[in-house]
A and B are shown apart, each in its own frame.
Chain A
Amino acid sequence: MSTSQTTTTDHHPALVHQFDSMEQQKAASTFGMWVFLLTEIMMFGGLFAAYLIYRIKYYPAFVAGSTSISVSWGFANTLVLIASSLTMAMAVWAAQKGKRSYQIWFILGTMILGSVFLGIKAKEYYDKWDECHVPGHVIGKGFNAWGGCSVQNPGLGNIADEIQKHAHDSGTIVPEASAIQTAKQTEIFFSFYFLMTGLHAFHMIIGMGLMTWLLLRARRGEFGPAYYTPVELGGLYWHFVDIVWIYLFPLLYLISRHKGAA
C-alpha cells in the first residue's frame, strides 16, 4: 500500500493536527457551521410551525395581539439588525484583508448595534409587562378577560376595548362577549411573541459573546488573509440570527396591518 505525502507549504500555527492543510480545515469548519445552522433552522422551524397552527386557529386574536405591539420599535430594531449585518460583513472583509484596526472597529460596531437591539427589545418587553400582556401568572401580572390591566389601571392595554373600537371605526359592530373571547385568546399570541423573540434574543446574547471572543482574538492580530475562518463563521452565525428576525418581524408585528389594522 502506497502513501500520499500531503504537501503543506506553510504550516500555519492555527492548523490543528487532524487536518492536512489549511484549506481542508477551512472547508471542514465552514461545513460544520452550515450543518449547525441547519439544526438551528430545525429548532426555530418547530417553533414557527407551532406559531402557524395557532395563527390559523386564532387568527382574529393574533391580529388583535399583533396590533397591540409597537410596529415602530419593531421596525427600528429591524433597521438596527440590518445595519449590524453590514458591519459584520465589513469585519469579515477586514479580516480577509488583514486590516487589524478595521476588524476591531467593525466588530465593536456590530456589538454596539447588537446592544441597541437588545436595549430596544428590553424596552418593548417592559411595555408589555406594564400593559399586563405577559402571559401566565408566574412572571406576568395576570392576563384578565379583557387582555389588559383593567382592574388596576382601566384602559391600559385593554385589548377587548381596542377590538371594539377598531370594529366601530371600520363601520362594523363586535359584541362585547366576542371581543372578550378574542382578547382572552391573545394570551397565546403573547406566549409565542415572548417565546420567539426570547429565543431570538437568547441567540443575540450568544452572538455578543462570540463577538467578544472575536474582538479579543482580533486585538491579538490573529486574523489575516491566511486565517480568518473564525470571523467568517461568527459572521455566518450573526447573519443567521438576523435572518430569523427578518422573518419574526412580519410574522409578529405586521399581521393584517395592510388591511388597516393600526
Chain B
Amino acid sequence: MSTATTAIKPVMPARHYLNDNYGIRSWLLTKDHKRIAVLYLVSITFFFFMGGLFAALIRLELLTPAGDLFTSDTYNKLFSMHGINMVFFFLVPSIPATLGNFVLPIMLGAKDLAFPKINLLSWYIYIFAGFFSLAVMVSGGVDTGWTFYTPLSSGFLRTHVALMAVGIIFAGFSSIFTGLNFIVTVHRMRAPGLTWGRLPLFVWSNYATSLIMVLATPVLAITLILLAMERTFHIGVFDPRYGGDPVLFQHMFWFYSHPAVYIMILPGMGVISELVTCFSRKRVFGYSFVAFSSIAIAVFGFLVWAHHMFVAGISQYSAMVFSLLSMAVAIPSAVKIFNWTATMYKGSISLDTPMLYALGFMGLFTIGGLTGVMLAALGMDVHIHDTYFVIAHFHYVMVGGMVSAYLGGLHFWWPKITGRMYPEAPAKLAAIITFIGFNLTFFPQFILGYLGMPRRYHAYPPEFQVLNVLSSAGASVLAVAFLMPAIYFLWSLKYGPIAGDNPWKATGLEWETSSPPPTHNFHEVPVVTTDPYHYGSDQEVTVVH
C-alpha cells in the first residue's frame, strides 16, 4: 500500500467488539458472530497444523522407496487422519465459519446472524467433535482412509471406525448449523436497500455453500450412523455377509462427499471475487453470471457423485451420464475464471498480498479444474483411478485453490478483524513461497500418477524416487510458507500499524464501519443505495458518518 502518506493518520476506535468486555467468560459465552469467528479461526488453525503434521509424516515416509519409517498399518492411519482432519475439521468449516461468520452479517448490514446462540453452539459442537476425533486418533486412530469404504470399514478393520464416525457426525451438525444460520440471515436480515442483486459475491457463494451444507450433510450423518450401527451391532446394511450392498455405501457417502468438495471451494471463489474487484479497481465483469454460477455449481454438485465410482462396478450407462454431468460442472467454474480475468482486463491492478493469493488461486484452480475434467472422462479415469494423479488434482483445487483463497481472504480482512495491518513485505514473500512450494509439492504427483504410482502405499518402486523427493522437498517449503503468516499475524496484533476503517479503499458495507467493528457492527443501520463493486466511480468510497 502506498497510502501511508495520506493526511489523516488512522486511529483505533475507542470501543469495538474486542474491548467491549474482557475475560475468558466473555469469549466462551459470547453470542457475537465476530468473536465466534475468532474462536473458529484459532481452533481451525490448530486443526490445520495437526493435519499438516500428518502430511509431513506422510511426505517423510515417501522420501525413500522402501517402507522404512512406518509400518504399512501406521501409514494407513497417517493418511486417514490427514484426510479426516483436513476435510472435516479444516476445509469444510474454514472460510464459512471464520471469514464468513465475521463479514457475512456485516456485509448484509445486520447486527448479528439470525441465531447467535446456535452459532455459538455450532462452535462448541465443532470443538467437541474435533477433540473427540483427536482423542480417537491418539488412542489408535482409524486406517480406512477418509472415505470409510465398506465392507473394509464395517467388518474387517479393528480400529476405532465407529467412534470416528461419531466425531464426524458431530462435525457435520456444526456445519449444518452454520449453513442454516447463513441462509436465514441472507433471506431475512438484509439492510434496507440491499436487494439480492446488490449482494456481494462473497455472500452469494456462501449462500450456495450453505444450501449444500444443509441439504447434503444430513445424508452423511445417516450414512455414518448406518455404518456405525452395522459395525457395532452387526445388523445388515452394507455388509454382504448380511445381504447388504457395499456399493450402496459409496453412493450414499459420495452423495454428501462430492457436494462437500463444493462446500470447500465455493466460499474460496467468493473471496476471490472480492479480491479481484478490489485490487483491479473495477466492477466485477458479469455480476449475475458470477453470482448464479455459484448456485449452478451447488446444483450440479448434487448430480455428479458417482464419478467417484467408475471402477466400482456401476452400470456403463449411469457412468456415462455421471461423466457428462461432471464435465458440466466445468461450465460454471469456467464462467468464474473468465469473468475474473475479464474484470482484471484494463484494471489498475495492485499486487498487494491478497491479490497475489488471488492470482495464485486462479492459476492453480484452473489446473485443478481442468485435470478434474480429465478425471471425469471415463476412459481416462479407469487408467488413473486411485493414483497420485487424483491426489494432485484434489490438492490443486483444495490447497492451491481453497487454502490460497483462505489466506488471501484472511490477509484482506485481517485489518477489519484486528484493526491492524500485517507487515506487507514478509506477507508478499509468504504468498510467493506458498505458490512455489505448492507447485513443487503437487506437480510431480501429476506425473507420478500418470506413470502409475498408486495412492495409499508406503513403499514404491525406486524409479519413482526422484519425483517423490521433489514433492517432499516442496512440502517442506510449503510448511515454511504456512508458518510465516502464523508468526507475522501474531506479531501484527501488537506491532502492526493501525489500519483505519478502509485500508484497501474497498467497497462493501464491512468497510464502512470501523476497524475493528463495534459489537453491533454499525452505529446506525446502513442503507444501501448502490450496486456492489462501484469501483471507478467518483464517489468511490462512501463514508458512513
Contacts and interface: CB of A to CB of B under 8 A. Distances in A.
Q: Do A and B bind each other?
A: yes
Contacts of B237: 50, 188, 191, 195
A248 B113 CA distance: 36
Interface string B175-191: 01000110111011100
A47 interface: yes
Interface in B151-189: 176, 180-181, 183-185, 187-189
A185 interface: yes
A50 B527 contact: no
Contact of B226 (A2, A50, A57): A50
A6 B110 CA distance: 13
Contact of A39 (B115, B188, B214, B234): B214
Contacts, number: 129
A45 B223 CA distance: 11
Contact of B527 (A3, A32, A38, A45): A3
B217 interface: yes
A138 B110 CA distance: 52
A6 to B, nearest CB: 7
A19 B244 CA distance: 50
B243 interface: yes
Interface in B189-214: 189, 192, 214
Interface string A4-40: 1110000000001111100010011001100110111
Interface stretch (B67-75, B385-393, B452-460, B518-526): B518-526
A76 to B, nearest CB: 26
A177 interface: no
A131 interface: no
Contact of B229 (A36, A43, A195): A195
Interface in B227-258: 229, 232-237, 242-245, 248, 252, 255
Interface string A192-230: 001100010000000000000000000000000000000
B114 A28 contact: yes
B411 interface: no
A25 B188 CA distance: 9
Nearest to A18: B112
A151 interface: no
Contacts of A17: 111-112, 520
A188 B243 CA distance: 7
B258 to A, nearest CB: 14
Interface string A50-81: 10011001100000000000000000000000
A175 interface: no
B71 to A, nearest CB: 31
Nearest to A50: B248
Interface in B389-416: none
B527 A187 contact: no
A27 B188 CA distance: 7
A194 B524 CA distance: 55
A46 B525 contact: no
A191 B242 contact: yes
Contacts of A195: 226, 229, 235, 237
Contact of A1 (B111, B235, B542): B542
A136 B222 contact: no
Contacts of B215: 38-39, 42
Contacts of B216: 42
B234 A36 contact: no
Given A39-B180, A188-B236, A135 B527 contact: no
A46 B184 contact: no
Interface string B94-121: 0000000000000000111111100000
B512 interface: yes
Contact of A138 (B234, B527, B542): B234
Interface residues of B, number: 52
A35 B255 contact: no
Q: How large is the interface on A (under 10, 10 to 19, 20 to 34, 35 or more residues)?
A: 35 or more
A137 interface: yes
B221 interface: yes
Contacts of A19: 189
A4 B192 contact: yes
Given A45-B219, A135-B242, A136-B235, A36 B180 contact: yes
Interface in B417-465: none
B188 A40 contact: no
Contact of B236 (A36, A45, A49, A191): A191
B374 interface: no
A109 B103 CA distance: 46
B236 A135 contact: yes
Contact of A35 (B180, B226, B242, B520): B180
Contacts of B223: 46
B544 interface: yes
B248 A53 contact: yes
B218 interface: yes
B508 to A, nearest CB: 13
Given A2-B527, A28-B114, A43-B218, A50 B252 contact: yes
A138 B232 contact: yes
Contacts of B525: 3-6, 20
Contacts of B113: 18
Contact of A185 (B180, B183, B243): B243
A3 B242 CA distance: 66
B234 A35 contact: no
Most chain B beta-carbon contacts within 10 A, residue among A39, A139, A187: A39
A33 to B, nearest CB: 10
Contact of A194 (B111, B187, B235, B248): B235
A141 to B, nearest CB: 13
30 contacts: A2-B527, A3-B525, A3-B526, A4-B192, A4-B525, A6-B525, A17-B111, A18-B110, A18-B111, A18-B112, A27-B188, A31-B183, A31-B187, A31-B188, A35-B180, A38-B215, A39-B180, A39-B215, A39-B218, A42-B215, A42-B216, A42-B219, A45-B218, A45-B219, A50-B237, A50-B248, A58-B243, A187-B243, A188-B244, A191-B237
Given A4-B525, A191-B237, 10 more contacts: A1-B542, A18-B113, A20-B525, A28-B115, A32-B180, A42-B215, A50-B237, A135-B236, A136-B234, A138-B234
Nearest 4 interchain pairs by C-beta: A43-B218, A136-B234, A18-B112, A46-B222
